[in-house]
Amino acid sequence: MTLKTLFSLRDKRKKTAIDYIIGDDTLVHLYRTYKNIRKHGEPEKRLNHYLSIIETDIPRTYRSSETYALETKELLHMFCLYSPVGYIQGHNFLAAACVHFFRGRTPYLSFYLFNALFDNIKDIYLLQIDNTFANLDTYTFAPCVESCLVLFLDFYKTKHPKQKISEMVELALKNFVQWRLFGTLTLSCHLHVDTSTHIIRYFLPCLYDREEFQSKLSALALSFLFCCFLDKALTEESILAVQSGSLTEDGLLAMLDSAENTIKLFK
């Protein structure tokens, strides 16, 4: 997919992927700002702190993402120069998807796409970092994770009234939702980077609308939970089996389609 193609692919809102990423800005301004960050970003010493972690995580991302490994590393390096957040594990999936979306071209657009996507889920990561520094004894989950789980368990308990769900099972499920579904926008649930394009397109229209983005993410997560767990015994083993498995492209498309209905449950 070329930049020219992305400029011409208009959706039902009569906008292209580029339109969504630019928002109220211009391509020229975004490009100049990107060059500025590259030239005047934080010192290399700060970047060196993250280099070994990034090098370790990139090969673990997708089996099919080796083609853009260098571009993915470059994006993550840029983000570390740009943001005080630095590199967080899970960034690798998001970065690979953003680079692949532009087929390794126009790195500045991949960078801004990455920033916009991460900005919508950063509270999940920062919440955990804050709790670590506060030395809290309890594991804290984001409110959006809690509300999604409450809704799913209401449906599950109605369908399986006799099954008891232990605290450990609930904890395992919350971990799964927070880090696999919300934390990586479900990107870590499939093997091939090609599939990530569907997820990027799903979120493009709400890149700069935090409320709509959250609704769509919650709807997709709930759709995932319904498809994977609603008809089976909810145990630590079943959660681990889903967590260890991989989502096919057809499976993802079915969940994205289903999310059009589950989103109504959050309104």
pLDDT in tens, 206-254: 999 999 999 999 999 999 999 999 999 999 999 999 988 888 999 999 9
pLDDT exceeds cutoff 60 at 258:
yes
Average pLDDT over residues 81-97: 90
Which part of the chain is CATH 1.10.8?
3-119
Average pLDDT over residues 167-176: 93
Going by C-alpha positions, the residue among 191, 145, 197 that lies closest to residue 171 is 145
Q: Highest mean pLDDT: which of 2-6, 135-139, 184-188?
A: 184-188
DSSP 66: G
Mean pLDDT of the chain: 87
- Looking at residue 55, its pLDDT comes to 87
pLDDT in tens, 181-205: 999 999 999 878 889 999 999 999 9
On whether the CB atoms of residues 110 and 6 are closer than 8 A, the answer is no
- Looking at residue 132, its pLDDT comes to 47
On whether the CB atoms of residues 117 and 98 are closer than 8 A, the answer is yes
Q: Where are the beta strands (DSSP E) in the chain?
A: none
Tokens of 128: 């955990």
On whether the CB atoms of residues 229 and 180 are closer than 8 A, the answer is no
Average pLDDT over residues 138-158: 89
- CATH classification (class only), 3-119: mainly alpha
Distance CA 124, CA 109 (A): 24
Average pLDDT over residues 82-100: 91
